[in-house]
Amino acid sequence: MKTLIVIGNGMVGYKFCEKLVSKKGHENFKIIVFGEEPRPAYDRVHLSEFFENQNAKALEMAPRLWYKENGIELITNTRITDIHRSKKTITSTTEQQYNYDYLVLATGSSPFVPPIKGIEKEGVFVYRTIEDLEGMLAYADKLNKEKPNAKAAVLGGGLLGLEAGKAVMDMGLEPHIVEFAPKLMPRQLDSRSSQVLQLKLESIGLNIHLSKATNQILGNDGHITGMEFGEDDKLDVDMLVISAGIRPRDELGKTCDLEMGVRGGIVVNNKMQTSDKDIYAIGEVALYNQMIYGLVAPGYDMAEVAANQILGKTDILMPDEIDMSTKLKLIGVDVASFGEPFMPASKGHSIIFENKTQHLYKRINVSLDGKSLLGGILVGDATDYNMLHQIYLNGMAIPEDPAQLILPASEGGASFGDVTDLPDEAQVCSCESVTKGQICSVIENGKATDVTGVVSCTKAGTGCGGCKPMVTDLTNATLKALGIEVKEGVCEHFDLSRQDLYKIIQVKGYTKFNEVLDNHGNGGHGCELCKPLIASLMASINADTANKEYAIQDSNDRFLANIQRNGTYSVVPRVPGGEITPDKLIALGQIAKKYDLYTKVTGGVRIDLFGATLRQLPLIWKELISHGFESGHAYGKSLRTVKTCVGSTWCRYGMDESVSFGIELENRYRGIRAPHKIKGGVSGCIRECAEARGKDFGLIAVEGGWNLYLGGNGGATPRHAELFAEQIDNETVIKYLDRYLMFYMRTAKPLQRTAAWQERLEGGLEYLKEVIIEDKLGIVQDLEDEMQTLVNKFECEWTQAVNNPEMMKRFNHFVNSEEEDDNLVFVPMRDQKMPQPWK
């Protein structure tokens, strides 16, 4: 038995182990892995996710148990200090010696910290390990408490620097990016695309400082207070994150005299061997072709080569050319570059599409003969990246007019390049080196029947995740080609789509979840996907309230309130159109005061009372109801608010009574359950103070009636509603809205807002007009009748609940005690209270 020692348990060191133990012959090796960090290897690429959840476990590449099960001895928290090549031993920080037959160096790199005066000050961080992040979080937390507008800068405007910039912004600090070069991402972007990116980043709140050389870090009492660039050129900052490049951790190679690069890195050949044939180097410490590759994909390839070489498969070698294409993640703006992003004019032609108003830039570089794609840059919209990258990697033919590759579809751009056109050897997942052929074959030989199966069989998509959309397309296309219907089922319990279930429940008249499951499901007990969906369908069809079968309702519907961060609830009474009398306002204030509730005006023009315990909910509602309030359905996938402006009632520009009409509409559609929530807006004139075009339905008063807009959305993907009909009267508005909403409720996917539904509707707005106005499908009478039934059957579910002792039983924290949850802790917040922050 030979001993193989791996030094470094980072991403590449781990991948090496994984690859090794999956191959025949590994049984002949005793494997020992040393890692300097306290925990087993984790996914550094997704390090920034740690800010969101502080869940180190979720980043783990594999748990400790995995190493054990695979016969690997993992020794963490231990650095190797020396290699004695003549004796074939190594020494650790604990002064222990170990013999080896083969050694693999996977020590990675460390952030480069430029020698600037004052850089050792407190509040200066690097961004590489979980410990770095914990340090930053603690420091930011302290700053946020001491100072309302603390600022943080990132030194370096490259790929990682921008990611760090987003991270400090998410920590609540004012973010600044300081870059030495005259542009952002100098290694990946040309000047124009860099400018577009800069505009976009500035629009989301990042402050950018270019062409700045930092000569000094200013401080007070040992902690950072600013950065100095020139004599009178300073930036006040309270924290600094350095992201100025990486340096290979090659100190072990140096001290044992392995061949080194002039600027560092341990030299390896295409077998990943260093100048000592028994010592291999992989990942960011290895200098291959005089380059350090700071990405995981080449590191994983190196791991594959080294594992094969050590097991005697000496014909597996590292390719000469390594793809360095990259796509930026996380920052909320798409940026990608592939192949040769900057190309000299002598080598080919560039085609550039730029739209600064939309922060959009696309460039592709095409060979002189116009036949192949050499590289490109995408800023603002990188949806084409996967396809372009594949065309480039596989040298696929491009259309006669290459501009089609990047033009928006409406401007003559064809959706060129279908996944099925790719050659079998096309590498779809570059992190795990999975080809199209491999993906298709696991489906063809029945090993996988859906995307989840493909991912677990091939590991595609488990690295950076960038290829996921492509894996999905490919899986669906392959299934289709095999004649297998791509399942649109809502979850493992139902193969049926929402639309099919809607029809079935309507025709069969089901009123209980178990009836639907037993007659049309796949067995089992249902889950958090199908239960609320079927509850919502039965409500849309039968006008049931959420009290009917409360155990299948989504958790908010179950308790008729929105659950908050500490398990207490919020209370939102309906205030139709936002109109409220002083008496009702006083009642709200008195009730909030009595139960010590945090009070706030919502983004939906009504008042939210937070911090009610389960037991308090019915007590509070009883009082609200006695003052004439009713449920606001803030918890349901149902109508929320119809926001209004004051309109001609008071406003000197008002063309119509927007408040009156808003109230009428809100009262008409209150309580109906839909695939997702629905919001409306009514503005009294085109100044649009009610922001009606940002709502699912919006009305704007104009000369001669209302303009009706449909399918708007705020949220993560804002979209303006589209003009559907002009100058129509109140009655026609209601007729069209009844039909529109009911048609949406019948046909949308689960949790699809009107905007997304309308956008994907074949035929688009024109088709919608044909259905709703011209009655092309002959269904408008049914739609109107169904809606009228729902309107007639409306009942306030809170009134229903507080008047029924059986229903009230639900609102107890314990079944066997009257006590409250003893785990609740509130802290003061300005003049009110809030739940104590999560750790």
Ligand X SMILES: Cc1cc2nc3c(=O)[nH]c(=O)nc-3n(C[C@H](O)[C@H](O)[C@H](O)COP(=O)(O)OP(=O)(O)OC[C@H]3O[C@@H](n4cnc5c(N)ncnc54)[C@H](O)[C@@H]3O)c2cc1C
Q: Which listed option, ligand X, another protein, ligand SRM, none, makes contact with residue 810 (CB within 5 to 8 Å by class)?
A: another protein
Interface with ligand X in residues 127-156 (CB under 6 A): 127-128
Tokens of 524: 């089992």
Q: Which listed option, ligand X, another protein, ligand SRM, none, makes contact with residue 838 (CB within 5 to 8 Å by class)?
A: another protein
Q: Which listed option, ligand X, another protein, ligand SRM, none, makes contact with residue 565 (CB within 5 to 8 Å by class)?
A: another protein
CA angle 505, 511, 514 (to 5 degrees): 90
Looking only at Cα atoms, what is the longest distance across the chain?
Answer: 95
Q: How far apart are the first and last CA of the chain?
A: 48
**126 makes contact with ligand X (CB under 6 A):** no
Length in residues, the chain: 839
**11 makes contact with ligand X (CB under 6 A):** yes
**1 makes contact with another protein (CB under 8 A):** no
Which one, 197 or 535, has the nearer CB to ligand SRM? 535
In eight-state DSSP terms, residue 786 is H
> How many other C-beta atoms can be found within 10 angstroms of the C-beta atom of residue 500?
15
Calpha distance 189→607 (Å, rounded): 48
Tokens of 27: 């049984």
**471 makes contact with ligand X (CB under 6 A):** no
Which one, 631 or 707, has the nearer CB to ligand SRM? 631
The 3 state secondary structure assigned to 257-289 is: CCCECCCCCEECCCCCECCCCCEEECHHHEEEC
In a 13 Å sphere around the CA of 173, the CA atoms on its Cβ side amount to: 31
Choose, by CB under 8 A, the member of 346, 581, 792, 817 that binds another protein.
817
Q: Which listed option, another protein, ligand SRM, ligand X, none, makes contact with residue 816 (CB within 5 to 8 Å by class)?
A: another protein
**19 makes contact with ligand X (CB under 6 A):** no
Report the nearest approach of ligand SRM to the CB of residue 565 (Å). Answer: 9
Calpha distance 839→738 (Å, rounded): 47
Q: Which listed option, ligand SRM, ligand X, another protein, none, makes contact with residue 107 (CB within 5 to 8 Å by class)?
A: ligand X
Write down the residue that tokens 């994983």 correspond to. 300
Q: Which listed option, ligand X, another protein, ligand SRM, none, makes contact with residue 567 (CB within 5 to 8 Å by class)?
A: another protein
Calpha distance 159→298 (Å, rounded): 17
- Give one word for 726, left, alpha or beta, with left for phi > 0 and alpha for psi -120 to 50: beta
**443 makes contact with ligand X (CB under 6 A):** no
Interface with another protein in residues 61-90 (CB under 8 A): 63
Report the nearest approach of ligand X to the CB of residue 335 (Å). Answer: 11
Report the nearest approach of ligand SRM to the CB of residue 717 (Å). Answer: 6
Identity of the residue numbered 715: G
Interface with ligand SRM in residues 572-601 (CB under 6 A): 572, 600
CA angle 408, 413, 419 (to 5 degrees): 100
Among 36-44, 95-103, 559-567, 594-602, the segment contacting ligand X (CB under 6 A)? 36-44
CB-based closest residue to ligand SRM: 715
Calpha distance 106→6 (Å, rounded): 7
Among 405-413, 564-572, 614-622, 665-673, the segment contacting ligand SRM (CB under 6 A)? 564-572
Burial class (CB in 10 A: 0-12, 13-18, 19+), 581: exposed
Binding residues for siroheme: 689
Interface with ligand SRM in residues 614-673 (CB under 6 A): 634, 640-641
Question: What residues form DSSP beta bridges with 705?
Answer: 702
The phi and psi torsions of 267 (rounded to 5 degrees) equal -70, 130
Calpha distance 757→252 (Å, rounded): 59
Which one, 523 or 778, has the nearer CB to another protein? 523
**163 makes contact with ligand X (CB under 6 A):** yes
Instruction: Please report, to the nearest 10 degrees, the dihedral formed by the alpha carbons of residues 184, 185, 189, 190 taken in order.
Output: 40
Instruction: Calculate Rg over the CA atoms of the chain.
Output: 31
Contacts of 352 (CB under 8 A, 6+ apart): 192, 361, 362, 363
**532 makes contact with another protein (CB under 8 A):** yes
Tell me which H or E stretch contains 530.
Answer: helix 530-542
Please choose, from the candidates 321, 375, 368, 363, the residue with its C-alpha nearest in 3D space to the C-alpha of residue 347: 368
**633 makes contact with ligand X (CB under 6 A):** no
Report the nearest approach of ligand X to the CB of residue 9 (Å). Answer: 6
> How many other C-beta atoms can be found within 10 angstroms of the C-beta atom of residue 96?
12
Contacts 24+ apart (CB under 8 A), 383-387: 383/334, 385/327, 385/334, 385/336, 385/338, 385/466, 386/466, 386/467, 386/469, 386/470, 387/416, 387/417, 387/419, 387/470
Number of chain positions touching ligand SRM (CB under 6 A)? 20
Instruction: Please report, to the nearest 10 degrees, the dihedral formed by the alpha carbons of residues 112, 114, 117, 123 taken in order.
Output: -40
DSSP-derived 3-state class of residue 577: helix
Which one, 412 or 589, has the nearer CB to ligand SRM? 589
Torsion sign (Cα): 460, 465, 470, 472? positive
- By the 8 A CB rule, do 477 and 443 touch? no
Torsion sign (Cα): 469, 470, 473, 479? negative
**444 makes contact with another protein (CB under 8 A):** no
Identity of the residue numbered 816: N
Interface with another protein in residues 552-571 (CB under 8 A): 552, 554-556, 558-559, 563, 565-567
DSSP-derived 3-state class of residue 2: strand
**603 makes contact with ligand SRM (CB under 6 A):** yes
Interface with ligand X in residues 48-77 (CB under 6 A): 48
Site string for another protein, 9-38 (x = CB under 8 A): ------------------------------
**753 makes contact with ligand SRM (CB under 6 A):** yes
Binding residues: 645, 651, 685, 689
Burial class (CB in 10 A: 0-12, 13-18, 19+), 823: exposed
The strand ranges marked E within 93-204 are: 97-99, 102-105, 109-111, 124-126, 151-155, 174-178
Calpha distance 437→450 (Å, rounded): 16
**679 makes contact with ligand SRM (CB under 6 A):** yes
Calpha distance 346→341 (Å, rounded): 14
Binding residues for [4Fe-4S] cluster: 645, 651, 685, 689
Site string for another protein, 463-502 (x = CB under 8 A): -----------------------------xx---------
Among 359-367, 378-386, 674-682, 818-826, the segment contacting another protein (CB under 8 A)? 818-826
Choose, by CB under 6 A, the member of 390, 570, 638, 644 that binds ligand SRM.
570
Which one, 615 or 627, has the nearer CB to another protein? 615
Which one, 327 or 670, has the nearer CB to ligand X? 327
Alpha-carbon distances of 766 from 710, 721, 737, rounded to whole Å: 12, 14, 16
Q: Which listed option, ligand SRM, another protein, ligand X, none, makes contact with residue 602 (CB within 5 to 8 Å by class)?
A: ligand SRM
Tokens of 176: 């600044």
Site string for ligand SRM, 290-329 (x = CB under 6 A): ----------------------------------------
Among 94-102, 112-120, 463-471, 544-552, the segment contacting another protein (CB under 8 A)? 544-552
**60 makes contact with another protein (CB under 8 A):** yes
**461 makes contact with ligand X (CB under 6 A):** no
**571 makes contact with ligand SRM (CB under 6 A):** no
**402 makes contact with another protein (CB under 8 A):** no
Binding site for another protein (CB under 8 A): 55, 57-58, 60, 63, 492-493, 513-514, 524-528, 530-532, 550-552, 554-556, 558-559, 563, 565-567, 809-810, 812-817, 819, 821-823, 838-839
Binding site residues, ligand X, CB under 6 A: 7-13, 34-37, 44-45, 47-48, 79-80, 106-109, 127-128, 160, 163, 249, 252, 283-284, 294-297, 299, 329, 464
Question: Where do contacts with ligand SRM occur on this chain (CB under 6 A)?
Answer: 562, 564, 570, 572, 600, 602-604, 606, 608, 634, 640-641, 677, 679, 713-716, 753
